[in-house]
Amino acid sequence: MSTPSDESATSPGTRPSAPHEAPASQQPSRGRSVAAILCLVLAALLSTPAAVAYWGQRTLNDNERYVDTVAPLVESPEVQDVIATKVTDAIEQQVDIESILNDVFADVVTDRPRLEQLVGPLSAAINGLIEREVRALIASDEFADFWVRLNSRAQQALQRVLKGEETGAVSLQGEEVVLDVDEVIEQVKQRVVERGLTIVENVPIPETDRQIVLLEAPEVKQLRTIYAFGNPVAQWLLPVVGLLYLAAFVLARRRPRMTVAIGAAIAANALFIGLALSTGRQLFVNELAGTVFGPASRVFYDSLLAYLDRGQQVLVWLGLILVVVGWFAGTNTYGTAVRRTVSGGLEGIGARLAHGREDGPIGEAGRWTAANAGWLRVVAVALGMVVLLWGNDVSMGRLWWSLTLVLVLLACVQVLVGASRAAPLPRQVLPPEPAPGGVR
């Protein structure tokens, strides 16, 4: 015996209900949303270490990038003063000018007070000559070229330090990373000898006076281990983070909202990098405060981290731009109104341009663009990213140029879409010709 419910479920013309199908139909969308969120969270967590690792890998491993980074240091008065002081002190400590002059004039001037009156000013003048020649050399174009060559070798030597080798212009001695200025001292001695002060030509300079302590680094052994394992990862970590953000966007069900989330994550990471740079600068300055390199430590830090600092500024603005774009692309009232106004105005321009030329080049281009508008917009954004990232040298100027390019290309697409919707002109109907026989 059947119940009414059974009859209704099986009666002709009635489709059986299938409540169990609803969860199955929603499962792909739910899994896709979870995957998008996981990609976003993972990318957000890896953004800061990826940016720092990529900067380190590019700056320390790329000889050209490293030289471009530190070459401007030689133009800094603080750095010039540090090098000049170190070289002058190294020479003067080994060349006792006053003692040499006393020996020279001892048989000529027997009166001790007069000898002291003569030796004192001459000694000061010669020491002043040495210092002037040192500073003139360091401020010269000749030294600037030498500085570039020195730092090129120093970068290679730094690689040897990280790999465990102990030789080069930059080396590890105990728990100190030192810069050897032997070549600078030899050039200064040669320059002074050419000016006639031959007494410094054969004066030996002790090894300790030929070096500048860059920093004390008891953690260098740990850094070597990190370098060995982290260097290959650092090269690819940032591109992987970019792909994770892209995957989060593609998998998201509500892409405008995901765009806002991605922008917020990028901006937050950029602000964290900025805070870390500021804190690291102060720690670095404090670490070198008691060394001869202390006065130039801030300039050195800012120059070495210039690329990372510039990239951090770009990331902040890129994140904010993505937040704004996502907000305007969403379903909120203001965003919708702005989109309609802008797109309507651009399409109106296209319609006016194509008016009366529906069968001409503008009309044909408009119809093709309207049929391919989706992927054309993707290409416009991709071109903007190429402009921003070309040569791995991001900057604020590059960001604004890439943004301008994207906006111009998107505007052109929308104008052509409007051209495809231009209303055709009404065809002019000619009056019929009179029939033969004169009948009108």
pLDDT by position in tens, the chain (length 440)? 444 444 444 444 444 444 444 454 455 578 888 999 999 999 999 999 888 888 877 777 777 777 777 777 777 787 788 778 877 777 777 666 666 666 666 656 555 566 566 666 777 777 777 778 778 878 888 778 877 877 777 677 667 666 665 555 555 555 566 666 666 667 666 766 776 666 565 555 554 455 555 555 555 666 666 666 666 777 788 889 999 999 999 999 888 999 999 999 999 999 999 999 899 888 888 877 777 667 777 887 888 788 888 889 999 999 999 999 999 888 888 888 888 899 889 988 888 887 766 566 787 888 888 888 888 999 999 999 989 888 777 889 999 999 999 999 999 999 988 888 765 544 554 555 555 555 44
Could you tell me the two tokens for 53? Answer: 């690792």
Q: Considering only CA atoms, which of 130, 55, 54 is closest in space to residue 89?
A: 130
Q: Considering only CA atoms, which of 292, 291, 288 is closest in space to residue 89?
A: 292
Quote the pLDDT of residue 11.
45
d(CA 34, CA 330): 20
Quote the pLDDT of residue 380.
92
DSSP-based three-state secondary structure for 179: strand
Interior angle at CA 323, CA 320 and CA 325, nearest 5: 110
d(CA 73, CA 79): 7
Interior angle at CA 329, CA 323 and CA 335, nearest 5: 95
d(CA 420, CA 87): 74
DSSP-based three-state secondary structure for 167: coil
Q: Residue 179 in contact with residue 154, Cβ under 8 Å? A: yes
User: Exposure string (b/e) for 379-412, b if CB count within 10 Å is 16 or more?
Assistant: ebeeebeebbeeeeebeeebbeebbebbeebbbe
Residues 6+ apart with CB under 8 A from 406: 380, 381, 383, 384
Q: What residues does each domain of the chain span?
A: 60-216, 231-420
Quote the pLDDT of residue 184.
66
d(CA 64, CA 377): 36
Place of tokens 């500085």: 147
210-to-136, 170, 190, 341, 400 alpha-carbon distances in Å: 19, 12, 16, 70, 47
The DSSP output letter for 426 is P
Could you tell me the two tokens for 415? Answer: 């104008």
The DSSP string of 212-261 is EEEEE-TTHHHHHHHHHHHHHHHHHHHHHHHHHHHHHHHH-SSHHHHHHH
Q: Residue 172 in contact with residue 217, Cβ under 8 Å? A: yes
